[in-house]
Each structure stands twice: as C-alpha cells, then as structure tokens.
A = this chain, B = another copy of it.
C-alpha cells in the first residue's frame, strides 16, 4: 500500500500520483479521478517518514517541558493542551521532550536527529543554555518566557514583574502594610527561573514604592510545602495580613495553613497572586489573582513558531502579556492596620 501500488492500479507512474496529491503540477481531470478512486478504495495515506525524508520537513514540533520530578502545575497542563490543539490546526503534530537531568540526550534527539521542524521551550531561565544553543544553531524555536538577553529571540511571556507589582498595589490600596511573597521552590530560583526572579523583582520594587514591610519565601510545588510555608510566615511575623504568590501548586496548602491558624480569608488575611484562572476558582474563597492565560499563550506560541517556520528570515517577534487582576473573593481591606489608607474605589 505505497505510492507505487497506487500508481500501478491506476495505470500511471508514481510521479503522477504524487503530483495528483500535491497539486504541484497539473494533472488531467480524468487521471486525477482515477487515482483518487484507487486511493479511496485502498485507504492509502502517504508514509510520514518517507515524506519527511524527501522534503526535509517532519510536520512535527517539539515541546520541551520540565521534568516529571517537578510536580506539574495546572497551568502547564492547560498550556500543553492548547499547544497540541493549535498545532493540529496547522497540521503539525507535537512531540514531547522532557528536559530532565540529562536534558542533553533528549534535546539531541529532537534537534540533531531532525525529529522536529521547530520547538517550543517551557520554563525558561534567565540564563538558559538551551536557548543559547538553539540561537547559535538558528534553530526555529519559541520560548515561553524570556531570558535576560532576549533581543534576538522569539518568545511569548508573562510580565511577571508587572503582574506581581499589580498584586502588591492591590493589597496596598486595601491598606495592607505587612505582606509576604511566596515564590517557587528555592532550587528553581537558584537555577535562575525567569518567573521566580522577575516576580520577586516586581514584588520588591512595588513594596518599596509603597513603603511596605515585607518578607519573601521560597516554597515547594505542593500543598504540604504551602502549609509549612504559611506557618513560617505567621511565625516570623504574626502581624502579616496578606500574601502574594506565584506558586499555584502550593495554593491549597497556604489556604490550609491559614485555616489552621484561625485566620479567615479575606477578613483576617488577604491572598492574591498569579495563577491560572481555572485553578484560582478551585479554592474557597476564590482567589483574586492575575489569571495566567495559559491557553492563549499556547496558541500564540504555536502561531509564532509556524510563522517562523514559514518565513525563516522573518525578524524575531514576541508577545508580552499582562492580564488584569480578576477580583474574586480572597482579598479585602486590612482591618487592624496601624496606618490604614483607604482603598481606591471598590
């Protein structure tokens, strides 16, 4: 059931079948019909490997995602789903590549063995070997997040600095004076994860601007760590009345910690941060947060990559997203503050 078989049964040559399918040269209506009929009868579909070998395109994009050792967050899941869906719309398949401990191995598989036409990289670091590597090779890639020197890169990212700052201002407007920042795990921060660093920056600067008293914490990507982290926060400064978090997976634990400590949200304590909307809604009270637009990001990343694949010499493009804060139910006025400034207008 290969192209030769189709050609034989249709009484034409292999090349004619190929042209009939691709439309790259004209084929008479009659032979086209005959060929199509044979194809339908036999249910023929051209072999992907052979096609890839012949024309140098695999019609596959690689999605380089964090190792399973780390826990995945809901945002990542939504993102993967939307990438697959968007890629399918452009007739691309998606190959998953774990960028684990020996990330090199699977990375080499993807690139050097030409399994994919291009790649989307998740969990970017400020200094990222992979990005440098791909840049040198001029390999078509799109980053989710941006490195410290992202000028020549294609990327779609979240403006964590601005988002976290917006959270801080929101809390300050509500009169909170002593707030904590719950970041991603320490090893990710040390490894230079972009979101962790820029988020921390945004927090520090905005808090300084508003003259707030702050503490910052790293926290494991799971509920128990969140609970422990919250205990530390209240232990270190019992007067803390609010927190900002980037750590979606720890959210449930933070809430539990508050509940165990007898702090009612939002009456006694406000919580906000940067979290995918769907997950902000799973906690009670629902989280007031900057909703990570995971689906949009996946779609945009694929669009950029396809554009780059179609136009190899296009100038680098990017999208920096800064979704607004969705007001839900987890923040409220600081009621026992010493220096209560009135909130803006809600």
Contact = CB atoms under 8 A, between A and B. Distances in A.
A266 interface: no
Contacts of A106: 88, 93
Interface in A170-217: none
A97 interface: yes
A84 B85 CA distance: 19
A100 B112 contact: no
Interface of A: 43, 45-50, 52-53, 58, 60, 63, 67-68, 71-72, 74, 76-78, 80-82, 84-85, 88, 93-98, 100, 106, 108-109, 112-115, 222-224, 249, 251-253, 255-256, 259, 278, 281-284, 286, 295
Contacts of A85: 67-68, 98, 100
A88 B76 contact: no
5 closest residue pairs by CB, A with B: A252-B282, A45-B112, A68-B81, A49-B52, A256-B284
Given A282-B251, A284-B252, A48 B88 contact: no
Given A81-B68, A85-B68, A94-B96, A45 B284 contact: no
A223 B96 contact: no
A78 B53 CA distance: 34
Contacts of A278: 71, 222-223
Contacts of A251: 282
A68 B114 CA distance: 28
Contacts of A71: 278
A60 B345 CA distance: 57
12 contacts: A45-B113, A47-B53, A48-B114, A60-B95, A72-B78, A81-B98, A88-B100, A93-B95, A93-B97, A94-B95, A223-B281, A259-B284
